[in-house]
Structure 1
């Protein structure tokens, strides 16, 4: 009876009580979600149960889901929400509840006829990338099984409308000689149609902007550069398609931004002599031609060029740091012109200098994790990341 007066006894952290598992070859890999508020509310807590544990398991190959909810005691209150019912709103109908034997039987049954529902478009090392067919029932089912990970690992993530034919789903698998392939991660990509101009439109020219929306690598595969290679191989695949004119990313978080910067710099090194980039080469014509050729959005291209300039200055001392500083400040000023013009000159100059210093430090931090050109025995120094108060 005393416990009824202690809400903390009946309250569980949904981030802690939700246990995620990937099963493969009789073993199970456990990891915790980063977020649960899209499922259980902003407080990320569940009330009404003692010692609540929610098990959400997936098969490594088909991602067939299994859900089990356990607790020692439940409050006798009709307003208490059942965690099973809450979770099932975000899981496919195929999800097996409670009966683990039935789940294993369903997996084995599915294995008899299951093939990855899509086309392999690229591969590296022991990994293969598939474009999933979202017009196929098996492709739709796989999307439904994967999509809860968007809520659990991407802040402000949401489900895509797989019925919209402009969405693509790419899944990366690890191949094995002794077992079925294992899902490593996935990304969703939206295809924006772009008007090519009246002449090209009349001639049937089609132009598309690819926008990476969601990008998930399972926790047990993180820290192995797989995400970077996944992104790079997708990018190289899209570069070959003449219809695609630009590749962009929707609201990337800091970790994705870092990965993308390093992957893009490494990729550019393979197609361009980065040492040759200097202010004589950076004409408006060259910039636009190279940016279009590489299908980079303007902001990302600017960041890459600025990092390359700083790398060349730091490594070869063949550029003027003052030139680089003015080059970067000019872009910052143009991007923030409206806000800066409301300030007096000393404050304006101070804001620009602070933003530049912060950006320079961040650039060197990123360059510290990339193998670009360095003098023998030297590496680019990294420093703590400090965010500018201007848009960069």
Structure 2
């Protein structure tokens, strides 16, 4: 058979895994048939490969439903047609259910009636661990209540619950991996919406964050935020900031904590972290406008570390954000001073000779210096200007958010 003919014949049986998978957080049986409760993955390459494609089906719909509190799970699929070896010269369809199930703990349901019959058990669900923070979010005119709990892996029942919850990571966090839950140095912060059904309090999971306590010589720890996920129905409502701040609040008065780090932060997480850290630093005397305009100081680094557990690199970034906020960019002198300060920091990677840089810079002209660094001067200047603009644009968005909050 002509390969091009076969390819054309099979093309209707290819679909995008991101569109084919339909997630739901089910609170009531009516949610199962309500399209408004459906959400989709951001990525499926960790399930279906780099192309994120599923082969062998027409009109494929893969249903992955979770009960909103206990995360009891239902997995099934529907399609209008499927390739078969008899019709398509021995070609087989992908085993989609197996590909999905391989990344899920055992015990999920494939019978929808059985899944629905278990929904009533969510009424008796109580969040794991200790309540650390409660707050409200107003959305579409409705005031919704949320609670954040802190727990450890030894909390009865939480290990199994976490195995179900972490399956979402593969669909929303690039290069995600499941953690070693046997290590008791892990901390977990879980966010739930608390609502009422028939007058009774109910819970629906909204997101979670994991923190690992690394040892820091000689007698300290250095907590590292490892994973954070806010589920799509709850995104852009401030829950990530609330979880991070709740974690921070438990660190401030602990003398055994040296500082807080983050593991490979995504761009969105870093923006949220900058917003939270900048809001906290704004309250410190060391970060007041008159001091910010004088430049980054040892006092700022000390205050950020000892009062807020912020490490030096992050403290410097917060300083740059708050200095821009304090700078009158219509004042030529202030604007120039800010621009020079940022570009001076951006230029550090070009200073390949470390401590010797100051020595050689005094003996070379600008052109000779650029040649010594093996980077054309024009290219370096263009890089600094473009990067400066990108950074300040991102800082301005955080400043706008600070003003609103």
- Please indicate the TM-score interval, normalised by the length of the shorter structure: 0.7 to 0.9
CA distance in 1, matches of 2:259, 2:390: 28
Structure 1 residue 143 corresponds to structure 2 residue 157: no
Aligned length: 362
Q: 1:101 to 1:347 in 2, by over 3 A?
A: closer
Question: Out of 110, 115, 118, which is 1:103 matched to?
Answer: 115
Q: 1:180 aligns to what SS in structure 2? A: strand
- 1:350, distance to aligned residue in structure 2 (A): 4.1
- The question of whether the paired residues in 1 share the 8 Å contact of 2:209 and 2:243 is answered with no
- 2:131 corresponds to which of 114, 120, 139: 120
Contact 2:222 / 2:259 at 8 angstroms: preserved in 1? yes
SS of corresponding position for 2:176: coil
Shift of 1:124: 2.2
Measured after TM superposition, the shift of residue 36 of structure 1 is 0.7
Q: Which residue, 355, 360, 385 being the options, matches 2:387?
A: 355
Residues 266 and 371, structure 1, Cα contact 8 Å, conserved in 2: no
Please tell me whether the aligned partners of residues 187 and 214 of structure 1 are also in contact (alpha carbons under 8 angstroms): yes
Q: 1:45 to 1:137 in 2, by over 3 A?
A: farther
Q: Deviations over 1:140-184 (max 9, x none)?
A: 111111111111111222222222223222110111243411111
Larger deviation: 125-134 or 186-195?
125-134
Could you say which residue in structure 1 is the equivalent of 2:9? Answer: 6
Which segment is superposed worse, 87-96 or 314-323? 314-323
CA contact (8 A) 1:275 1:312 kept: yes
The whole-number CA distance in structure 2 between the counterparts of 1:278 and 1:10 is: 60
Kindly indicate whether the alpha-carbon contact (under 8 Å) linking 2:328 and 2:334 is maintained by their aligned counterparts in 1. Answer: no
Which of 174, 177, 183 is equivalent to 2:193? 174
Name the residue aligned to 2:357: none
The corresponding residue for 1:266 is: 279
* Partner of residue 69, structure 1: 77
1:192 and 2:214 correspond: yes
Measure, in 2, the Cα distance between the counterparts of 1:111 and 1:12.
38
RMSD across aligned C-alpha pairs, in angstroms? 2.8
1:105 offset after TM fit, Å? Answer: 3.0
- CA, structure 1 residues 333+72, in 2 after alignment: closer, same or farther (shift >3 Å)? same
Instruction: Find the counterpart in structure 1 of residue 260 from structure 2.
Output: 247
Greater radius of gyration (CA): 2
- 8 Å Cα contact 1:23-1:60 kept in structure 2: yes
> Offset of 1:103 from its aligned partner?
1.6
Output aligned runs, 1:10-159, within 5 Å. 10-28=13-31, 29-77=37-85, 79-97=92-110, 99-109=111-121, 111-112=123-124, 114-125=125-136, 126-159=145-178
- SS of residue in 2 equivalent to 1:175: strand
Question: How far 1:27 moved relative to its partner?
Answer: 4.0
CA contact (8 A) 2:74 2:108 kept: yes
CA offsets, 1:366-388, max 9 Å, x none? 32222189xxxxxxxxxxxxxxx
Is residue 313 of structure 1 aligned with residue 314 of structure 2? no
Give 3-state SS (helix, strand or coil) of 2:47's partner: helix
Q: CA deviation at 1:123?
A: 2.3
Structure 2 Cα separation of the partners of residues 372 and 57 of structure 1: 36
Within 2, Cα distance between the matches of 1:69 and 1:167? 35
2:326 counterpart of 1:304: no
Q: Secondary structure at the match of 1:368?
A: helix
Moved more, 274-283 or 319-328: 274-283
Secondary structure of the 2:134 match is strand
- Structure 2 partner of 1:290: 304
Question: What are the residue-to-residue correspondences of 1:347-386 with 2, within 5 Å?
Answer: 347-371=379-403
In structure 2, how many angstroms separate the alpha carbons of the residues matched to 1:74 and 1:314? 64
Deviation per residue, 1:169-212 (Å, 9 max, x gap): 2110111243411111111222211113xxxxxxxx3x122221
User: CA 1:208 to 1:85, structure 2 compared with 1: closer, same or farther past 3 Å?
Assistant: same
Question: TM-score, normalised to structure 2's length?
Answer: 0.80
Distance 1:299 1:51 in 2: 50
Check whether the contact 2:222–2:261 (CA below 8 A) recurs between aligned residues: yes
